[in-house]
Amino acid sequence: GNNLAGESSGEAGRAGLREAADLLAAGKLVAFPTETVYGLGADARSTEAVEGVFAAKGRPSDNPLIVHIADRAELEKFVLDVSDADRKLMDAFWPGPLTLVLPVIPGALSPRVTAGLDTVAVRMPDHGIALALIRASGCPLAAPSANRSGRPSPTLASHVREDLDGRIDGIVDGGPAGVGVESTVVRTNAAGGATVLRPGGISAEEIGRVLGAPVRAVSADHSADIDPAAASEGSSSGAQGGEGAGGQETEGGEAMRGASSADEAPRSPGMKYTHYAPSGRLEVVLGAEEPAAETIRGLLAAARERGEKTGVLAFDEHLESYRDLADIALPLGSRRDLREAAARLYAALRRFDEEGATYMVAEGCGDEGIGSAVMNRMGKAAGGRIHRV
Ligand code: TXA
Ligand code: MG
């Protein structure tokens, strides 16, 4: 991994970006910051480059990539048609954490980018370095999150290094990514409405307001609620990647879940993979503040009793009350500002792994705004183990 200077506006910064852009133009793989998480970029027109991305990440090849652009005029080169609804969303949210699924011009991009679908996911990141890099490279950049498959998405260049050093050609370090969870993936429909395929930085409510039409949320079925009576029987052994008879290991170490065939709504192929599973067992507790806090203390105490190395990820309001029950206590910020929770979640999950936590509890949050993305990612990391109290 070549370390390329990022944010600085000095000579080194410019040289770093130029070098990174040249690598990308030559079909190499370079990680770069965006306003959501770090992406691993490659020329979306080059099958060799895109195959390199899947190989570096260990990502299943049927999970398509997002193409990043810096100027809307680029769309003409690979998108067949932009509807009025799509245009409204671009006007409102680009550049920003919104990805639109659009009909692709056959042959305009590597078929590996779209995993053979007739659509392509596109976004314009709201990040100066990302935009400058895309422009300087002259490429539409296919860029999934720059983590090894099955690890939390990287919000710092050091996370990228941990996962991909030696497997990619460069990293542009731009400091911490801002939002902390990935973009919202949306597909508009003929009626002027839309379906949220993956919750993210832009909420379904915001999208609905802009469209003035109904917005459906397709949530992956990862919330197999825990029966409170049975909950205490859980142990940390072998919980990696989520339970469930339908789970099927892929080469990437991501457990694949059966698609629900009855649901004819468009789905994001990535939603069938469990992501971000920490090495230990993670459970989420969701509910009114006091009962939730009581449940969390109970779960931690029971885990201590079993000899687990315990971790807790909680809002500032209750963190102190868990400290003597947890070996590692990490803050999500205030309950009143879920943007903090989004920004801290992935780094916290990495930290638990580093510290060797075998049993962790995370405090869940409401679905308002970015809360739905936070809960979606927490639920996935927990393999669907959510206590509702
Ligand atoms: O914030 C983000 O979106 C980050 C940064 C780097 O831009 N990127 C990211 O990429 O999260 P990735 O590859 O980790 O996630 C792409 C998601 C997956 O859930 C994938 O299934 C979905 O977008 N997707 C890609 N192409 C699609 C398509 N044609 N139709 C439906 N979903 C698609
Ligand atoms: Mg990802």
Q: Which of helix, strand or coil describes residue 187?
A: strand
Say yes or no: ipTM exceeds 0.85. yes
Confidence (pTM): 0.87
The third-level CATH classification (topology) of the domain covering 3-216 is: DHBP synthase (3.90.870)
Q: What is the CA(304)–ligand 1 centre distance, in A?
A: 38
Residues 85, 67: Cα–Cα separation, whole Å:
19
pLDDT single digits (tens) 198-234:
999 999 999 999 999 999 988 644 343 443 333 333 3
- Residue with token string 């809360």: 371
pLDDT of residue 232: 37
pLDDT of residue 277: 77
pLDDT, residue 258, reads 33
Following CA atoms 87, 197, 205, 37 in sequence, which dihedral angle do they give, to the nearest 10 degrees? -90
Ligand 1 pocket member 99 (CB < 6 A): yes
191 burial type by CB count under 10 A (0-12 exposed, 13-18 middle, 19+ buried): exposed
Q: What is the pLDDT of residue 222?
A: 38
Question: In this structure, what token pair is assigned to residue 39?
Answer: 């992406």
The torsion of the CA quartet 198, 203, 205, 207, rounded to 10 degrees, works out to -80
Nearest atom (ligand 1) to Cα of 120:
29
According to the 3-state scheme, what is the secondary structure of 350-379?
HHHHHHCCCEEEEECCCCCCCHHHHHHHHH
Cβ 89 vs Cβ 101: under 8 Å: no
What residues flank ion ligand 2 with Cβ within 5 A?
Answer: 145
Residue ranges of the chain assigned to CATH 3.40.50.11030: 228-388
- 74-88 pLDDT tens trace: 999 999 999 999 999
pLDDT averaged per 10 residues in sequence order, the chain, 389 residues? 54 73 98 98 98 96 96 98 98 98 98 97 98 98 96 96 96 96 97 97 96 85 40 34 28 31 48 71 96 97 98 96 97 96 97 97 95 96 95
Q: Environment class of residue 17 by beta-carbon count within 10 Å: exposed (0-12), middle (13-18) or buried (19+)? A: buried
User: Distance between CA 241 and CA 274 in Å, rounded?
Assistant: 7
Report the residue among 29, 79, 99 best suited for mutation to probe ligand 1: largest number of ligand atoms under 8 A from its CB.
99
Q: Where in the chain is the domain with CATH 3.90.870.10?
A: 3-216
CATH class of the domain comprising 228-388 = alpha beta
